[in-house]
Every structure is written in structure tokens, then in C-alpha cells.
Structure 1
Amino acid sequence: MLRVGLTGGIGAGKSEVSSLLAGYGAVVVDADRIAREVVEPGTPGLAAVVEAFGESVLTPEGSLDRPGLGAIVFADREKLQTLNAIVHPLVRDRSARLEAAAGADAIVVHDVPLLTENGLGRLYDLVVVVDAAPETQLARLTQRRGMTEDEARSRMAAQATRAERLAVADLVIDNDGPLEALEPQVRKVWEELVGRAGH
């Protein structure tokens, strides 16, 4: 099994890379998706979040109010650490189970937004970083995700710097350009992964 950590700043295009790799045959373990699943209504994860932050982080239907919680934790580093201490162990456990089910000859790509911030690079055989200039990230977040410039800058500031991410990279995918420039780079990275996995 080849264990790959995939990361990139918000708005860099990591999800697009992740879905291309899945199309080539990678088993993708998506930390963001798992992080949503472990706090769905009725889960111990959601109960722990409500205990830490109060009922105000719930929607009227009883699910997690993500934008509301995001506004709280991205404005206060201590509260972000509290949330991470609840969610990260749950995500780690689920990720480990998914990886174990993948099979011995799989190329498992762990899509981990906070890989650099949490010093997780050493857990993988190699790290792939999806890179984009901060101004590209900002434009994508405001134009495609509808964030205000302040919201986008605050999310970006809560993450590692571009230099910190590049420092942990074994392979870099440059996603500053249009989508059609991305696919050939991802294919090349996939060929490299297949070679390293000895397939």
C-alpha cells in the first residue's frame, strides 16, 4: 500500500485533484467529508460539539450550523483548538478503518486540508501539495464560494502559509491556471505514484 497525503490551501483546487486521482484508481479518504459525517445528527461527535459550544451551533432542524460554528472558531484560535480536539480523533479513527479496507496494493490518497498545520506529513509515504498563489485563492473564494474578502482572508490566515505547505511537499501540482492545465499534471503525478507503488 502506498499512503499519500494530499493537501493545499483553501481555494487551491485540492478537491478537483482528489476527484481526478479517484478517477485514475486511487482510494481517496476525504478528511473533510469524514469531518462532516462524524458530527451528523445523532452522533457522539455532534453531542460533544454542542456540549463544548452550546445549542446555538445547531440549526432549527438539529443539525450542525456550519457557517455559525465557523464564524465562532475562525475568530478565536482557542475555540478552534477545542473543536479540533473533538473532531480530529473521530476523523483519524474513521480514516484508519477506510484505509484498512482498501487492500494491500491500493494507492490510498488521504485528502487532508490541515496536513501541514497539524504536522501530519510524516504519517505518509509522500505528500502532494496543490499550490496556488494567495491572490488566486482569494479570487476563487470570493467568486466561486461567495465569501466576502474579509471572510476569505480570515480562512486563509487560519491555515499554513504557502511556504510552509511547499516545505513539506514531495510533489507539487501548480493550480494557478485554468482547469484544463490541471489534468495533465495530475495524470503525471498519478504515474509517479503508480511507479512508487510498484504497480
Structure 2
Amino acid sequence: MKIYGLTGSIGMGKSAVAKMLRREGVPVFDADAEVHRLQGPGGRLLPAIEARFPGTTGAKGVDRVKLGAAVFGHPEELKALETIVHPAVNHVRKKFLRRHRARAFVVLDIPLLFEKHGHRKVAGVIVVTAPAWKQRLRVLARPGMTSAKFRRIIHLQTPDAEKRRRADYIINTGTTFASTRSQVRRLVACLGAKRGR
């Protein structure tokens, strides 16, 4: 089984591409979704997060606004949160890989693949991209998003041009839905053909 990494900056359409991959029968591990589950109502990480960041959790799970305020712009606090979250996500990812070990390939959807050096552990990297103006429109349409917050997020991410330069495969979502879906289907056929090579 080969493991490929799927990544892309905020607002590039990575989640849409992940859904298309699943529709084509590709097992996709969504790191962000797993984090939400672990931090949601009754989530396994709530006690540890509350102990380290008092007042940031409740009956509905983590209060993302409060936790974000506690760690955003504070590298040491962010590192403390990652020390809680990353081992738990890694454990679930290993179970996912064992479950799909008979498949030709699987995809790990990891937003910070380059930033956390995960690209070194996969057979290839798929980067989802779109024009900067479209990215900005998509992101600013999100509830609670501001231009200042968007700039801070972008500052923390590897630039799109750099991601594209380091990619093994690129999916462009700055076009029509049908075109993007066609790109995804070609990619799936290409990756499937690489089995055993």
C-alpha cells in the first residue's frame, strides 16, 4: 500500500477534493475531522485540554474561540496543545492505515503537511491550489473570518507557490467543478497504475 499526502492552504478547496477522492473509492484520512471529533462533545482530549487551558471546554466540547485566543500568537502555548493533540491523532491514523492495508493506496488529508514535515513520510504529495483572489473570496465568506485573521493564518502556512513547487501532483480548483472532478479522476487512475512499482 502506498500513502499519499493531500494538502493545500486555507480556502484552496482541499476538502472538496477529499470528498471527490472518497467518491472515487479512495480511503481518505481527514486529520482535521479527527481533531474535531477528539475535541467535540465527550471527546477523549477534553480533560487534558481543560487541565492545560482552563475554561476552554464545556458540554459542547472545546470552545474554539477561547482555545484559539489562548494559543494563537503564543508559540509555547500552541506547542503545549500540539503535545496533547498530535499523539491522539497519530494513534487513530495508524488504525486507519491498518484497516486499509490491503488497498493499492490511501490518502492522508493533512493541512499542515509541509509545515510539520509530514511530506517526508509519504510516497507523494498532492497539492490543491486556486488563484489567490478566489482563495481570498472563499475564506472571507466564512462565518467569523476577517481580513486580519486571514492574513495571520496565511502567514503561518507555507506559501501556495512553494507548495506547488514541491508537489508531486497538483489539483486546480480555480476552474469548474467538472474540471476539478476530471482532474481527480485522472489522478486516481494514475496512482492506481503505480501499484507495485
Alignment of 1:1-199 (within 5 A): 1-55=1-55, 57-59=56-58, 61-197=59-195
**For the residues of structure 1 that align with 2:100 and 2:155, how far apart are their CA atoms?**
35
Higher deviation after alignment, 111-120 or 166-175: 166-175
| TM-score for both structures, normalised by structure 2 | 0.90
My pick for the range that moved more, 175-184 or 22-31, is: 175-184
- Counterpart Cα distance in 2 of 1:32 and 1:147: 18
**What percentage of residue pairs aligned between the two structures are identical?**
35
Residues in 2 aligned to 1:62 and 1:24: alpha-carbon distance in whole angstroms: 34
Distance (Å, rounded) in 2 between the aligned partners of 1:101 and 1:14: 23
1:47–1:106: structure 2 CA closer, same or farther, 3 Å change rule?
Answer: farther
Give the match's secondary structure for 1:197: coil
More deviation, 187-196/34-43: 34-43
Amino acid aligned to 2:24: Y
- Contact 1:27/1:106 (8 A) holds in 2: no
* Unaligned 5+ runs, structure 1: none
Comparing 126-135 with 11-20, greater Cα deviation is found at 126-135
Distance 2:179 2:80 in 1: 39
Deviation at 1:43, TM superposition (A): 4.1
Q: Secondary structure at the match of 1:38?
A: helix
- Provide structure 2 residue ranges, at least 5 long, that are not aligned to the other structure: none
Measure the CA separation in 2 of the matches of 1:145 and 1:125: 36
The alignment covers a number of residue pairs equal to 197
Greater Cα shift, 97-106 or 14-23: 97-106
2:57 maps to amino acid: L
